[in-house]
Amino acid sequence: MNALKNKVQLIGNLGNDPEIINLESGKMLAKFSIATNESYKNANGEKVTDTQWHNIVAWGKTAQIVEKFVSKGKEVAIEGKLTTRSWQDKDGIKRYITEVVCHELLMLGK
């Protein structure tokens, strides 16, 4: 059951090409966002689509796969865990971001 405590699975489309970062340590990082869509009918019977954006980070071999095969608009399935980190911006204000650290990636569609 421990593996189920922090597990995220998403299927969505990339909003932009991934940002690839090669760190001085030799590690590779890929950052990208995906949109997930959920549709429902409102009280008037009209179809409404709710789009949520998710920040994704991938390291190492997964980042290499992202760099070679993933681009804007592509549909992907990802599995990973939620993380939250904070930093201070240039004005000294503490900022927070929640990201999904991707452990597995599956390319879908064409």
Q: Chain-wide mean pLDDT for the chain?
A: 93
State whether residue 94 is helix, strand or coil. Answer: strand
Architecture of domain 2-107: Beta Barrel (2.40)
Q: Report CA torsion sign: 38, 43, 47, 50.
A: negative
What is the distance between the alpha carbons of residues 12 and 82, in angstroms, rounded to a whole number?
16
How confident is the model over 18-58, as pLDDT tens digits? 999 999 999 999 999 999 999 999 999 999 999 999 999 99
Q: Is the pLDDT of residue 91 over 90?
A: yes
What is the pairing mode between strands 47-59 and 94-107?
Answer: parallel
**Distance from chain centroid for Cα 38:** 17
Q: What is the DSSP code (8-state) at residue 45?
A: S
Contact between 99 and 57 (Cβ < 8 Å): yes
pLDDT value for 3: 65
Q: Where are the domains of the chain?
A: 2-107
Q: Is the pLDDT of residue 83 over 80?
A: yes
